Structure 1
Amino acid sequence: MIRCVNTPDATAAPDAAGASAPARPADTVAVPEGHVTAVVTADGPDRPGVSAAFFRVLAAHQVQLLDVEQSVFRRRLSLGALIGVDPGRLGVLAEGLTETLRDRGMAVEVTTEGVDAIRQASTHAVVVLGNPLEASDISRIGQVLADYGANIDTIRGIADYPVTGLELKVTIANPRPGGGVPLRKALAELAGESAVDIAIEREGLARRSKRLICFDVDSTLITGEVIEMLAAHAGREAEVAAVTERAMRGELDFAESLHERVAALAGLPESVLDEVAESIRLTPGARTTIRTLKRLGYKAGAVSGGFIQILEPLAKDLGLDFYRANTLEVVDGRLTGRVVGDIIDREEKARSLRRFAEESGLGMHQTVAVGDGANDIDMLSVAGLGIAFNAKPALKEVADTSVNNPFLDEVLFFLGIAREEIDQADREDGTARRVPLG
């Protein structure tokens, strides 16, 4: 298939007054006088040598390359070039490409229509994650984007495990600071109504400049609540769990609730701390997330309203760069039911994140915070990107985005890191493994 559209002079078009006006914007690369710009595309099965043959024909006709894009999707190749060429060669160029690529199953098109369109950088990235992800989900997201004047520029698959993920690069109608707020709210509402996670973030260097991540611990980095595990040894798990739930919802002052819950541990032998530490289970994807981010040069750490006696061995096992938590008082080998030192409440979590960033020589816009409860509100609010992980409503309201699946590696996808990149790095150092789901 070939469509060759020839215009007598594609470099100029008459304006309303009859004068000539440039068909191409002045800020594009100039082509020699008397040449035209054209778009050349080839589509078909991906085979070795197709691109080489494509450019060999262009070279034979002294073509100037202005822009090129190539992609392969499931062994289907799409190759396009914006070129500057002598208009007298367009016909023979099209014939040459068709003849050369016919045996390779490629469809060729050469046209001078639409060549004045400028390739512009997208303003935002939208990441959509679902398990499963349905066409209807993308349809609804696409409609919301259209309703707010946003154009989808490109779409790529970003994850096939443990969830399906797509990354949409979009250009919004009002790219000025704050211009994307209405769209962000609309997408957040859609995510709340559906079974998918949606994140939108400004595209560009700022998105790729993140270099520090800080996790909450209980029900974020690990499954479960440590204080409830400790309370189970005292036969008071249900009582303590009820107080924890109210604190995480923001109904109780955290410091007050902490003292109340810790008092229930009075008299327990210190050995209980080791037993609980050994029984800790990481949230699925935690090791993958930390390992991957540290490969990229991230600093990784944790700030917990829990206890340093539990967090410290975990932090050393994961190779965390920093960590903070409350300290349980132990006297004569038994817990006293009190904590010593500063209480790690929501304000202190935010201060800790700022301190970690400052010590690492990073700005707050380069930080990511992940948490699940009201105690994490301040930390997520000051971070460059705040992610609510299977969180209480109070935290979701202030977070930049929410994860509603039980997989911590969704954080990587929100940062624009593709599953295939993660798996490739894991294969290279022998850590690759996929745990069966469900």
Structure 2
Amino acid sequence: MTNDNPRTDLIGLTFQGTDFPGLFHELADAMTRFGVEIIDVGQAVLGGSITLSFLVSSQHPEDFEVEMRRLAELRGLSLTLTPGMADDVHRLPGRAVVTLLADTVPAEALAEISAEVVHHGGNIDRVRRLARTPVTAIELDVSGVEVVELRRRVAEVSAESGCDASVAAAGLARRGRRLVVMDVDSTLIQDEVIEMLAAHAGREAEVAEVTERAMRGELDFAESLHARVAALEGLPVEVLDDVRAAIRLTPGARTLVRTLKRLGFTVGVVSGGFIEVVRPLADELGITYAQANTLEVADGKLTGRVLGEVVDREGKARALAHFAQNEGLPLERTVAIGDGANDLDMLALAGLGVAFNAKPVVRAQADAAVNVPYLDSVLFLLGISREDIEEADNLDVDSAAMSGTGA
């Protein structure tokens, strides 16, 4: 909505220099003596340096400006005064959030991505750092862009620069409860369960080769699954216990699930692997939904067959849609995370599809790609900062200590 009566009697003030406790209060308190009305204010602190801007009106502008200059000089701050500013500058329609993610963000990536924003008629309105360890995450608030087209171009720049980047719609679409559904093998966990089972049969290398080809999209997944499961025939069912005990969670997996649940999100897993392994893992992490294939067992041994319909590429997408329906959530409010070709339909169906350390065919088609080894980095794509995560963890520790249950 536009302002029919824009103010042009305003003064813009921008202070820059070394930050110190109480600076904001000192400046605001000084303004009270000059009948100042605050129209807008913004502050950014980076590495101990501060930029603090006010848009104000004053009943005594001349005296007010003299006092502000005196205070700036006293505190060793630079001050830029801009009289006659208006307050009717609105953000351009078409809002988006661009998130950059890397060990350290290359200047070339930031330059190229910001160039794409400008090329598409947009403007970067705000910038904030979401995390600095173990990866750097930077978020750009952008206006005046078409999300789908900007996402396509940013994905191309990301692939060339080696810096992960995503583009998501801003505003209310980014807030509220969501459903997050992820693949299991090589996503939630570091392992491929079927290869771990095949190792007990002495056929790990053979099965691993078929798995790799299926994940690259070179083989039909259902056919490859039946071929690989056949290699397990005759294994005692107890090997499932051994495999469950040996599974390694992906770094950041617990943090991701824990944080999503604290936000009130629902988490699900869907796997081309086996429910005998996936369901206990989901229960341990507090994951609500789990869907995977079921191994046939006879006389205490694996038969080399699966029961029922195979959870393949299409089955994963159907599972996501079913989970969303159960939760009463539109598909726009879903996030899917996966690494292989059999995840592509699920990633395409979700409101945000994230390729996690994925095969090239998956990275090329996903909305966003994460190529750092920490699964909780996906949280930054949702606008959740490392400080938010750590603060929530500390609150849980404090609550446990107060209740006497320990951490």
Give the TM-score taking structure 1 as reference length.
0.86
Q: Aligned runs of 1:47-62 on 2, under 5 Å?
A: 47-62=20-35
CA contact (8 A) 1:94 1:109 kept: no
1:286 maps to which of 242, 253, 265: 253
* Amino acid corresponding to residue 255 of structure 2 in structure 1: T
Give the direction of change, closer, same or farther, for the CA distance of 1:29–1:419 in structure 2 (3 Å limit).
farther
Q: How does 1:228-239 map to 2 (within 5 A)?
A: 228-239=195-206
Q: In terms of Rg, which structure is larger?
A: 1
Amino acid at match of 1:27: N
Residue in 2 aligned with 1:375?
Answer: 342
Identity within the alignment, %: 49
Residues 1:29 and 1:222: Cα distance change in structure 2 (over 3 Å): farther
Match of 1:129 among 91, 101, 121: 101
RMSD, matched Cα: 2.1
CA distance in 2, matches of 1:396, 1:114: 46
The amino acid across from 1:55 in the alignment is A
- Aligned 8 A contact 2:9 2:86 in 1: no
Aligned partners of 1:113, 1:190: CA distance in 2, in Å?
40
Q: CA deviation at 1:157?
A: 1.1
Give the deviation of 1:377 after TM superposition. Answer: 1.2
Which residue number in structure 2 is paired with residue 107 of structure 1?
Answer: 78
Deviation at residue 77 of structure 1 after TM alignment? 2.7
Aligned length, in residue pairs: 397
The superposition leaves residues 285-305 of structure 1 with CA deviations (integer Å, 9 ceiling, x where unpaired) of: 111111111111110110011
* Stretch moving more, 356-365 or 263-272: 356-365
Note the 1:318-329 alignment, pairs <5 A.
318-329=285-296
Task: Name the structure 1 match of 2:3.
Answer: 27
Tell me which of 141, 160, 166 is aligned to 2:138: 166
Q: Could you tell me which amino acid in structure 1 is paired with residue 152 of structure 2? A: K
Unmatched 5+ stretches in structure 2: 399-407
Give the aligned residue type for 2:61: L
Aligned-residue offset at 1:424: 1.8
Assess if the C-alpha contact under 8 Å between 1:50 and 1:101 holds in 2: no
Give the secondary structure class of the aligned counterpart of 1:430: helix
Cα deviation per residue 1:95-117 (whole Å; 9 max; x = unaligned)? 11223443333333332254356
Residue 42 of structure 1 corresponds to 15
1:326-363 alpha-carbon deviations (Å, 9 max, x no partner)? 11011111100011122111111111111111111211
2:9–2:84: 8 Å Cα contact kept in structure 1? no
Selected match of 2:362 from 392, 395, 405: 395
Deviation at residue 144 of structure 1 after TM alignment: 2.8
In 1, Cα distance between the equivalents of 2:293 and 2:332? 27
**Structure 1 pair 301–181 and aligned structure 2 pair: CA distance change class (3 A):** closer
* Residue pair 2:6, 2:86 contacting (<8 A) in 1 also: no
1:118 to 85, 89, 94: 89
The SS at the match of 1:112 is: strand
1:147 is aligned with what amino acid? H
How far is 1:259 from its partner? Answer: 0.8
> Take 2:5 and 2:20, find their aligned partners in 1: how far apart are those partners?
31
Is 1:369–1:383's contact at 8 Å kept on the other side of the alignment?
yes
The equivalent residue for 1:342 is 309
Encode CA deviations 1:176-207: one digit per residue, 9 max, x unaligned.
Answer: xxx34333222111111122101111111101
AA aligned to 1:287 is R
Q: Show the counterpart of 2:110.
A: 138
> TM-score under structure 2 normalisation?
0.92
Partner of 1:420: 387
Which amino acid in 1 is paired with 2:320? L
Amino acid in structure 2 at the alignment position of 1:42: F
How far is the alpha carbon of 1:30 from its aligned partner?
6.3
1:419–1:393 CA distance, 2 compared to 1 (3 A) = same
Q: CA shift at 1:266, angstroms?
A: 0.2
**Alignment partners' CA distance in 2, 1:187 and 1:427:** 35
Instruction: Find the counterpart in structure 1 of residue 58 from structure 2.
Output: 85
Q: Tell me, in whole angstroms, the C-alpha distance in 1 between the residues paired with 2:299 and 2:329.
A: 43
Matches within 5 A, 1:227-376: 227-376=194-343
Asked if structure 1 preserves the Cα contact closer than 8 Å seen for 2:36 and 2:58, the reply is yes
TM-aligned CA deviation for residue 137 of structure 1? 2.3
* Distance apart, 1:28 and its partner CA: 6.8
Contact 1:212 1:299 in 2 (8 A): yes
| Residues 320 and 346, structure 2, Cα contact 8 Å, conserved in 1 | yes
2:153 alignment partner AA: A
Matched, 1:202 2:175: no
Work out whether 1:156 is the aligned partner of 2:156. Answer: no
By percentage of residues, which structure has more helix? 2
1:435 — aligned with what? Answer: none
Deviation per CA, 1:11-64: give whole Å up to 9, x if none. Answer: xxxxxxxxxxxxxx9617766xxx821212322332333222222232222122
Which deviates the most, 264-273 or 73-82?
73-82
Contact 1:39–1:115 (Cα < 8 Å) also in 2:
no
Q: CA deviation at 1:264?
A: 0.5
Deviation at 1:252, TM superposition (A): 1.7
Q: Which amino acid aligns with 1:75?
A: G
Cα separation, 1, equivalents of 2:104 and 2:47: 20
Deviations 1:395-425 (A, max 9, x none): 2233111111221112011111111111222
* Bigger mean CA deviation after superposition, 390-399 or 364-373: 390-399
Q: Give the Cα–Cα distance (whole angstroms) in 2 for the partners of residues 261 and 364 of structure 1.
A: 33
8 A Cα contact 1:210 1:368, kept in partner: no
Aligned to 1:12: none
- Residue identity matched to 1:217: V
What displacement does 1:380 show? 0.9
Letter aligned with residue 258 of structure 1: L
Q: Which amino acid aligns with 2:258?
A: R
Say which SS state the counterpart of residue 409 (structure 1) adopts.
helix
Does the 8 Å CA contact 1:388/1:402 hold for their aligned counterparts? yes
